[in-house]
């Protein structure tokens, strides 16, 4: 089946006085106006023609993504709202990849866009004070690669978003010279669902990742392809005194290496070639290499002294745990700093998230936040008492219909009441790619505000973030949705 014919739902809309039929795969059909001659692209399904300057798809002078958003999400809330491509692929015009945001919301709320802004401008605040910085930096860097953008299947769309989110979470600051060339690989399941929380992509080869290792590094002797005996192949490539790694700050040469008895790991001791490290007594690095989820994982176990070389294997569990703790501490610090910067920006701009609430369809006392499609909340009280959240909670029942709009409906899977909010896990009907969502309900300024806290592929992922939202400890480990 051709991609253009792979769809489920068709809607109609009028955009700039033109009538369109729109499919949920991003294809459109433009009708010939009554009494006028048919144009070249009239009355046939098309994804549109790509504009080589900006990467967007057009039919005539109309941008396809605006037509699709209008058909499936309705009119934008205000004239200030733009149609945002969530995965930044300007040719993925599937409705679930489109949403209405203001430019400020796009800068702050979209992690992929925010990562790019922080990479080029240093911070969100610097960008908002002078948006021209971003345009100048992009022009200077010639970062105008739009060749990777194309129409996608539903599976390719999910892979693309997952890969871009992972890349944006690992992207370094401007002082690093590393970049990732976008290409056809972005649509493939490059990052497996079980990839470790601390792994980042190596500089090269493409089958290498690094753990507890901040600087993107090139692993010179790592195989470029995977065979049936991956670690044995890697082991054959290793030689004493050969260059093992190279990055912006240093390189290393092999002093000693050996395969573990169970052949599930390779241990390498290398000497770091850098002036700062040569003067340090701990000039030997311990590297553990494993094969996991179709990747060669290079685990940084830290540094040892000359005297520790003979017994290094006994130290590996302790070294590895120490590196994990350091990485966790760094990650927590970065998240705190990101939150602090966003708070500074919001305060300086007098940014009030409540200003972006929209009125729900029903009841009149209900509003919605971070929620594009106007929705009816069937269990929401129609009037508020002195105990509004308690009243709402009494209305909730498992499997009861919670919400509905023109795109989908959702029922209650589970719910919990805290002192300041109700947290509801919703289960969508079969039309949604992601079947579960987390909704936070608060009572604010005489309204019940329904806050979209994210959607999930798996029930277990929804329960994890439902638990954490309540301030409780989650002991179930990583879930599929942590990597999507």
Whether 71 and 93 have beta carbons less than 8 Å apart is answered as no
- Tens digits of residue pLDDT in 25-76: 999 999 999 999 999 999 999 999 999 888 899 999 999 999 999 999 999 9
Whether 441 and 426 have beta carbons less than 8 Å apart is answered as no
Is the pLDDT reported for residue 350 higher than 80? no
Q: Which CATH number goes with the domain that contains 94?
A: 3.90.75
Question: Which structural domain, as residue segments, surrounds residue 213?
Answer: 200-344
Whether residue 72 lies inside any domain: the answer is: yes
Q: Are residues 340 and 357 in the same domain?
A: no
Number of domains in the chain: 3
- Tens digits of residue pLDDT in 362-412: 999 999 998 888 999 999 999 999 999 999 999 999 999 999 998 889 999
Q: Are residues 298 and 377 in the same domain?
A: no
Task: Work out the pLDDT band at 178, boundaries 50, 70, 90.
Answer: very low
Q: Are residues 315 and 377 in the same domain?
A: no
Residue found by looking up tokens 């990479």 in the block: 119
Mean pLDDT of 176-201: 57
Contact partners, residue 148, CB within 8 Å, separation at least 6: 89, 182, 183, 184, 186
Instruction: Give the number of other Cβ atoms within 10 Å of residue 7's Cβ.
Output: 17
Mean pLDDT of 98-115: 70
Is the pLDDT reported for residue 338 higher than 80? no
Give the pLDDT score at 48: 95
Q: Are residues 361 and 479 in the same domain?
A: yes
Instruction: Give the number of other Cβ atoms within 10 Å of residue 131's Cβ.
Output: 13
Q: Are strands 98-101 and 208-211 parallel, antiparallel or unpaired?
A: unpaired
Whether residue 281 lies inside any domain: the answer is: yes
List, as own/partner pairs, every contact residues 95-103 make where C-beta atoms lie below 8 angstroms and the sequence separation is at least 24, other chains included. Answer: 95/24, 95/26, 95/68, 95/69, 95/71, 95/407, 96/157, 96/433, 97/157, 97/161, 98/65, 98/68, 98/69, 98/72, 98/73, 99/69, 99/73, 99/372, 100/69, 100/73, 100/76, 100/372, 102/78, 102/356
Whether 30 and 49 have beta carbons less than 8 Å apart is answered as no
| 113-to-105, 169, 199, 363 alpha-carbon distances in Å | 10, 11, 22, 34
Whether residue 141 lies inside any domain: the answer is: no
Give the pLDDT score at 134: 63
Q: Are residues 249 and 338 in the same domain?
A: yes
Give the pLDDT score at 194: 40
Whether residue 366 lies inside any domain: the answer is: yes
Whether residue 165 lies inside any domain: the answer is: no
Whether 28 and 69 have beta carbons less than 8 Å apart is answered as no
Q: Are residues 275 and 406 in the same domain?
A: no
Give the pLDDT score at 361: 95
- Tens digits of residue pLDDT in 406-441: 888 999 999 999 989 999 999 998 777 789 999 999
Is the pLDDT reported for residue 159 higher than 70? yes
Phi first, then psi, for residue 410 (nearest 5°) are -140, 145
Give the DSSP letter of residue 13: E
- Tens digits of residue pLDDT in 181-190: 566 766 666 5
Question: How far apart, in whole angstroms, are the C-alpha atoms of residue 422 and residue 393?
Answer: 7
Domain boundary among 289, 322, 344: 344
Give the pLDDT score at 192: 44
Give the pLDDT score at 372: 82
Contact partners, residue 189, CB within 8 Å, separation at least 6: 159, 162
Q: Are residues 311 and 396 in the same domain?
A: no
Give the pLDDT score at 68: 97
Give the pLDDT score at 277: 42
Domain boundary among 59, 84, 105: 105
Give the pLDDT score at 351: 47
Whether residue 383 lies inside any domain: the answer is: yes
Q: Are residues 407 and 339 in the same domain?
A: no
Domain boundary among 344, 366, 400: 344
Cα 109 to the center of its chain, rounded Å: 11
Q: Are residues 310 and 365 in the same domain?
A: no
Whether 30 and 41 have beta carbons less than 8 Å apart is answered as yes
Q: Are residues 329 and 373 in the same domain?
A: no
């Amino acid at each position: 089946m051709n991609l253009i014919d792979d769809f489920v739902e068709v809607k109609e809309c009028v955009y700039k006085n033109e009538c369109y039929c729109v499919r949920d795969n991003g294809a459109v059909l433009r009708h010939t106006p009554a009494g006028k001659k048919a144009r070249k692209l009239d009355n046939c399904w098309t994804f549109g023609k790509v504009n080589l300057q900006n990467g967007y798809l057009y039919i005539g002078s109309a941008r396809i993504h605006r037509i699709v958003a209008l058909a499936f999400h309705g009119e934008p809330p205000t004239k200030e709202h733009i149609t945002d491509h969530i995965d930044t692929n300007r040719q993925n015009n599937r409705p679930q990849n489109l949403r209405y945001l203001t430019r400020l919301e796009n800068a702050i709320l979209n992690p992929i866009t925010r990562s790019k802004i922080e990479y080029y401008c240093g911070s969100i605040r610097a960008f908002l004070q002078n948006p021209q910085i971003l345009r100048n930096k992009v022009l200077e860097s010639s970062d105008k690669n739009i060749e990777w953008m194309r129409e996608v299947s539903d599976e390719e769309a999910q892979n693309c978003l997952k890969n871009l989110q992972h890349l944006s979470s690992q992207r370094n600051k401007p002082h690093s010279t590393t970049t990732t060339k976008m290409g056809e690989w972005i649509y493939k399941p490059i990052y497996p669902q079980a990839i470790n929380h601390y792994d980042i992509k190596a500089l090269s080869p493409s089958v290498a990742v690094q753990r507890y290792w901040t600087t993107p590094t090139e692993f010179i002797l790592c195989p470029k392809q995977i065979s049936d005996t991956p670690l044995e192949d890697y082991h054959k490539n290793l030689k004493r005194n050969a260059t093992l790694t190279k990055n912006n700050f240093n390189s290393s040469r092999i002093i000693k290496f050996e395969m573990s008895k169970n052949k599930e790991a390779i241990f390498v001791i290398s000497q770091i070639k850098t002036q700062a490290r040569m003067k340090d007594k701990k000039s030997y690095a311990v590297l553990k290499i494993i094969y996991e989820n179709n990747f060669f994982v290079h685990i940084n176990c830290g540094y040892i002294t000359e005297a520790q070389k003979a017994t290094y294997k006994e130290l590996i569990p302790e070294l590895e745990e120490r590196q994990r703790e350091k990485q966790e501490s760094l990650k927590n610090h970065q998240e705190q700093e990101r939150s602090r910067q966003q708070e500074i920006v919001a305060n300086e701009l007098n940014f009030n998230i409540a200003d972006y609430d929209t009125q729900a369809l029903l009841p009149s006392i209900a509003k919605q936040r971070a929620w594009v499609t106007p929705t009816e909340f069937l269990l929401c009280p129609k009037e508020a008492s002195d105990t509004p959240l308690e009243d709402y909670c009494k209305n909730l029942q498992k499997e009861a219909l919670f919400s509905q709009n023109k795109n989908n409906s959702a029922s209650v899977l589970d719910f919990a009441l805290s002192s300041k909010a109700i947290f509801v896990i919703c289960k969508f009907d079969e039309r949604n790619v992601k079947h579960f969502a987390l909704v936070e309900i608060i009572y604010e300024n005489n309204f019940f505000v329904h806050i979209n806290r994210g959607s999930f592929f798996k029930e277990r992922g929804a329960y994890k973030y439902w638990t954490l939202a309540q301030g409780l400890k989650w002991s179930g480990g990583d879930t599929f949705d942590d990597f999507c």
